[in-house]
Amino acid sequence: MRYGVAGVELFGRHDEPARISEFLDGVRQGGGVRLIRGEPGVGKSSLMTAAAELALSRGMRALRASGTAAVRLLLPAAPRSRHDRTHCCQPERTAMTDHTRSDISLRVNEITHRLSVDNRRTLLDALREDLALTGPKKGCDHGQCGACTVLCDGRRVVSCLTLAVAADTTSVTTVEGLATEGELRPIQEAFLRLDGFQCGFCTPGQICSAVGMLAEHAAGWPSAVTAGDAPDRAPELDEAEVRERMSGNLCRCGAYPPIVRAVLETAVRDGGAV
């Protein structure tokens, strides 16, 4: 159902209910969305309550926040052209059909799942909504914060920008799949012991990113701060390297120092086992 915007009507504290009733009858015939607002000084008077009650008695939807001097009336508006976006406040949804969905196989945390998904569905939504794996978080939904980071075939990806169909047949690891038989990985233990988090919202993505980052370093991959263009061995991992390699994961609480310490400690512990 679409709604159009039909303007604002002001009422003063001395207006009679009859005037409000007359106005509502006119709105009911014209359709659209109307906002009834009290004039300055009306405040929390009973005028808006009366307006809402009169609207409800006419079968309208009357929305009013408690204690405010305004009532919004919602009425179905006349259908508009799909190309006319001037007055549209609710986007049209396209139903999923055989031409817009695909059957995929996702191996997530060593368990294979067969799903039928919309071709536009992201891996993040498939994990959270279809498989109930809520470790990956939907933060920015634009690939900028890293809270949704998971591992695909061992490589870190931002799942909010990865289509579920693109992950077909790959092996996906979320933070729920890192621990083995209840035993935390060294990187998880280091995050806990060194307080590499505060609110914890970004932590699953931070940990998955750290696992992938340490694997990249062990394979000899350089970063933007690595000295030399083509090192013949894994570059030395210091704070600058860790900060650069983890820069795609934001922590709004500012727990970066302990995060860096946790990664560095894990890198030298047990030969870099994560």
State both tokens at 167: 């992950």
What is the reported pLDDT for 44? 45
232 and 187 co-located in one domain = yes
129 and 171 co-located in one domain = yes
- Give a yes or no: residue 192 inside a domain: yes
| Mean predicted lDDT score pLDDT of the chain | 79
- Average pLDDT (173-186) is 94
Instruction: Decide if pLDDT at 37 tops 60.
Output: no
- Give a yes or no: residue 83 inside a domain: no
Report the CATH number at residue 58: 3.30.110
Q: What are phi and psi of 147, to 5 degrees?
A: -65, -20
Q: Which amino acid, 258?
A: P
As a whole number of angstroms, the distance between CA 261 and CA 238 comes to: 10
- Average pLDDT (34-46) is 52
- Average pLDDT (6-25) is 59
159 and 218 co-located in one domain = no
77-108 burial string, b = 16+ CB within 10 Å, else e? beeeeeeeeeebeeeeeeeeeeeebeebebeb
Helix (H) or strand (E) holding 265: helix 256-268
Which of 212, 206, 221, 217 lies closest to 262 in space, CA to CA?
206
Residues 6+ apart with CB under 8 A from 205: 136, 137, 139, 145, 146, 147, 148, 149, 175, 249
As a whole number of angstroms, the distance between CA 169 and CA 20 comes to: 63
Q: What are phi and psi of 152, to 5 degrees?
A: -115, 115
172 and 191 co-located in one domain = no
205 and 274 co-located in one domain = yes
State both tokens at 162: 């990865």
- Give a yes or no: residue 205 inside a domain: yes
CA atoms within 13 A on the CB side of 229: 0
Looking at 75, 91, 108, which one is the last position of a domain?
A: 75
150 and 216 co-located in one domain = no
29 and 107 co-located in one domain = no
104 and 150 co-located in one domain = yes
State both tokens at 11: 């009422």
What is the reported pLDDT for 233? 67
- Give a yes or no: residue 164 inside a domain: yes
187 and 171 co-located in one domain = no
11 and 64 co-located in one domain = yes
What is the reported pLDDT for 61? 61
Give the rounded distance of the alpha carbon of 81 from its chain centre: 30
Q: How confident is the model at residue 6 (pLDDT cuts 50, 70, 90)?
A: very low
Which of 261, 141, 146 lies closest to 204 in space, CA to CA?
146
Q: Which amino acid, 107?
A: R
Domain with 35 in it: 5-75
Domain count for the chain: 3
Q: Which amino acid, 264?
A: L
Instruction: Decide if pLDDT at 42 tops 50.
Output: no
What is the reported pLDDT for 99? 82
Query: Which stretches within 219-255 are classed as H helix?
Result: 239-245
Instruction: Decide if pLDDT at 3 tops 70.
Output: no
- Give a yes or no: residue 60 inside a domain: yes
103 and 43 co-located in one domain = no
What is the reported pLDDT for 46? 62
Instruction: Decide if pLDDT at 58 tops 70.
Output: no
- Give a yes or no: residue 57 inside a domain: yes
What is the reported pLDDT for 123? 97
- Give a yes or no: residue 94 inside a domain: no
195 and 271 co-located in one domain = yes
Q: What are phi and psi of 5, to 5 degrees?
A: -100, 125
What is the reported pLDDT for 75? 47
- Give a yes or no: residue 88 inside a domain: no
What is the reported pLDDT for 214? 96
β-bridge mates for residue 63, sequence order = 72
Report the CATH number at residue 262: 1.10.150.120
What is the reported pLDDT for 49? 67
Which of 173, 99, 71, 161 lies closest to 124 in space, CA to CA?
161
